[in-house]
Amino acid sequence: MIAITRDPIDPYRFIESAKKPETGGIVTFIGTVRDDGIEALDLDVCEEVALSDLNKIAEQATADYHLNTVDIIHRVGRMQLTETILVIVVGSSHRQEGFAACSWILEQIKAFVPIWKKDIWKNGESWHFSKEEGN
Amino acid sequence: MKILIRCYARFRDAFGEEQALELPEGATILDAVRTLAGTGPDAELLIDNVGNIRSYVMIMHHDVRVSPMEAESVSLSDGDMIILFPPVSGG
């Protein structure tokens, strides 16, 4: 499943559904809200473009890393500390391709999928915003 | 002609969610972004000190990403919409 949701994500259902006879390894990434002194995190999205991007990333990863299954579920909206932001589950015949694919998918999401984090503080809020040219 | 610009996240806070701009015929994406930048106090978020679109700005036009360097070569038509994304931070 490739999805963007505003609801809490249960990663275990995707891990279970990735178990296939041809699969020898399931690699999972679970991104969570880290306590950087914030109270919560608010994620904004351009959903139409982001969903299209996630599908393209999944298709490319499946082809390049010979994956048997791939699930990417990104949550948006308000999240509290420790809540799950992102789940990536890849099923592959061999572990090397699974680890590499999971890492590649995450880096692609961080590079160009239109999703933005905003820190929510006790006395305000601020977008994550890198002004590095060409970032 | 009239075009629409939609902004997300930090850009939305600075320039509003959606603005309709009146531009002369033949105007380009660069013209549109310069015009939008002039509507608020945070022009430097979008435009550098020589008038170029900052390289971190992601531009969508007709469902296609346009790099800031290409913006001067893409002409707009009446009714077009441009979407501006600040640097992403998902994952």
Domains of chain A by start residue, with CATH: 2-122 (3.90.1170.40)
Phi, psi of A53 (to 5 degrees): -60, -45
pLDDT recorded at residue A41: 97
B69 in reach of chain A (CB within 8 A): no
Give the closest of B8, B56, B83 to A132, CB-based.
B56
B83 in reach of chain A (CB within 8 A): yes
- Helical packing angle, A95-112 and A47-65, nearest 10°: 150
Comparing alpha-carbon positions, the chain A residue that sits nearest to B17 is: A46
Mutate which: B45, B47, B89, vs A, most A CBs within 10 A = B89
CB contact under 8 Å between A114 and B85, yes or no, is: yes
pLDDT tens for the 135 residues of chain A, in order: 999 999 999 999 999 999 999 999 999 999 999 999 999 999 999 999 999 999 999 999 999 999 999 999 999 999 999 999 999 999 999 999 999 999 999 999 999 999 999 999 999 999 998 766 443
* Distant-in-sequence, close-in-space partners of A87: CB < 8 Å, separation ≥ 6: A9, A11, A14, A28, A29, A30, A31, A71, A72, A73
SS3 A53: helix
Comparing alpha-carbon positions, the chain B residue that sits nearest to A114 is: B88
The CA distance from B91 to B78, in Å, is: 36
Residue owning tokens 């589950």: A89
A20 in reach of chain B (CB within 8 A): no
pLDDT recorded at residue A133: 45
Element (H, E) at A7: none
CB atoms within 10 A of CB A64: 12
Residues on chain B touching A114 (C-beta within 8 angstroms): 8, 58, 85, 88, 90
Phi, psi of B59 (to 5 degrees): -115, 135
- Domains detected in chain B: 2-85 (3.10.20.30)
Comparing alpha-carbon positions, the chain B residue that sits nearest to A115 is: B90
Q: B15-56: per-residue pLDDT in tens?
A: 999 999 999 999 999 999 999 999 888 999 999 999 999 999
Phi, psi of A11 (to 5 degrees): -70, -25
The CA distance from B70 to A76, in Å, is: 31
CB atoms within 10 A of CB A10: 12
